[in-house]
Amino acid sequence: MFVLGGTTARTIAEDISKTLHQPLIEATYKRFPDDEFYVRILEDIKDEDVIVVQTTYPDTKIIELLLIQDALVESGAKKIIVVIPYFGYSRQDKKFENGEPISARAIAQHISLKSDYVITVDPHKEHLLDFFEVRAYSCSAVDEIAKYLKEIDIDFVLAPDKGAKKRAEFAANIIGCEYDYMEKTRINGTTIKIKPKNLEAKNRNVAIIDDIISTGGTMAKSIKELKKQGAKQVSVACTHGLFISGAKEKLLTAGCDNIISTDTIDDEFSKVKTAPCITNTIKKILK
């Protein structure tokens, strides 16, 4: 078996290779002058199973993955396990208005064409796995995030909305502290409303935990509310840190003390590794 890192989430590919003691293979990745993507697998993988790791964000990374998968098939790979640390487009998982696509399903169907198994980390909703037409698995980075939060003495965990409550509860159980959730209403893609509620946050080191931090709007509003209620320190933690549209500044201006994300999208806040949960899932598949 071989491991191939795409052009994203390369540390995850290296970690998987080390943990499973399977070699990383080389490929050439480049762009033509018109920016079209080029890939060439540089090793003999005929009749070998290959684990390929690629986050499908931003859009260009989806095309890259599809071409990498095709190159693997053309090179004679036996089974292809596609690891998608962050599955982009997962928030358009249904038609919210008539005339819209189910984007997550459209992309999942294309990835399924040349793969045998798919693994993704903390998908926005679990039903996304059903969009793949091959066996698809999810794993969660929340226990690794919780271990990190425990080390920095977090003593209260908060979910920014009811949908994230289970995640907060799970993390709080590992840390051994209390948890709660906020009442969030999304007005549109960039505007949300947080309903104030009494949170027992006074003098506590609070961590707000979510699956995605995108523009940082959800977290910034929650941080302000917690600080208003007397929280000593507020950390934000997520699995997938997109940090777009000035999110970092927004969080810091709101009074954030610590920003934590995993390595599904590599950035300065990638403090938690996801390879442990991914390799456990690969081991289960291969059993």
Q: Which member of 15, 144, 210, 257 binds ligand R5P (CB under 6 A)? A: 210
Token reading at 11: 């540390």
Least separation, in Å, of the C-beta of 186 and ligand R5P?
7
Interface with ligand R5P includes 217 (CB under 6 A)?
A: yes
Q: Which of 17, 215, 235, 274 binds ligand R5P (CB under 6 A)?
A: 215
Question: Whose Cβ is closer to ligand R5P: residue 155's or residue 211's?
Answer: 211
Spatial CB neighbours of 108, under 8 Å, sequence gap ≥ 6 = 118, 128, 131, 132, 133, 136
Residue with smaller CB distance to ligand R5P, 60 or 92 = 92
Task: Return the number of the residue (52 or 220) whose C-beta is nearest ligand R5P.
Answer: 220
245 phi-psi bin (left φ>0, alpha ψ -120 to 50, beta other): left
The single residue among 54, 55, 120, 214 that binds ligand R5P, judged by CB under 6 A, is 214
Residue 128: partners with Cβ closer than 8 Å, 6 or more residues away: 87, 90, 93, 104, 108, 120
Q: Where are the strands (E) in the chain, listed by range?
A: 2-5, 27-31, 37-41, 50-53, 80-84, 117-121, 135-139, 156-159, 178-181, 183-186, 192-195, 205-213, 233-241, 258-262, 270-272
User: Are the CB atoms for 192 and 164 separated by under 8 Å?
Assistant: no
Q: Residue 287 class from Cβ within 10 Å (0-12 exposed, 13-18 middle, 19+ buried)? A: exposed
Instruction: State which of residues 64, 122, 211, 257 lies at the interface with ligand R5P (CB under 6 A).
Output: 211
Asked if 213 is part of the footprint of ligand R5P (rule: CB under 6 A), the reply reads yes
Helices (H) and strands (E) in the chain, counts: 8, 15
Give the residues across from 190 on adjacent strands. none
The tokens of 68 are what? 């990498």
Q: Which of residues 152-181 bind ligand R5P (CB under 6 A)?
A: 160
Q: What is the 8-class DSSP label of residue 74?
A: H
Identified binder of ligand R5P from the candidate list 111, 121, 208, 212, rule CB under 6 A:
212
Which span (39-47, 67-75, 134-142, 213-221) binds ligand R5P, by CB under 6 A? Answer: 213-221
261: three-class secondary structure by DSSP: strand
184 flagged as catalytic: yes
Q: Which stretch binds ligand R5P (CB under 6 A): 9-17, 28-36, 41-49, 209-217?
A: 209-217
Least distance in Å: CB of 32 to ligand R5P?
Answer: 34
| Contact in structure between 181 and 133 (CB atoms under 8 Å) | no
Catalytic residue, chosen from 184, 221, 227, 250, is: 184
17-76 positions binding ligand R5P, by CB under 6 A: none
CB of 232 to ligand R5P, least distance (A): 23
Q: How many residues bind ligand R5P (CB under 6 A)?
A: 11
Strands ordered across the beta sheet of 258-262 = 178-181, 156-159, 205-213, 233-241, 258-262, 270-272
Nearest approach, Cβ of residue 67 and ligand R5P (Å):
28
Minimum separation from the CB atom of position 109 to ligand R5P (A): 23
**Residue 142 touches ligand R5P, criterion: CB under 6 A:** no
Query: Hey, which residues are catalytic here?
Result: 184
Instruction: Kindly list the residues in this chain that would bind ligand R5P in the complex (CB under 6 A).
Output: 160, 192, 210-218
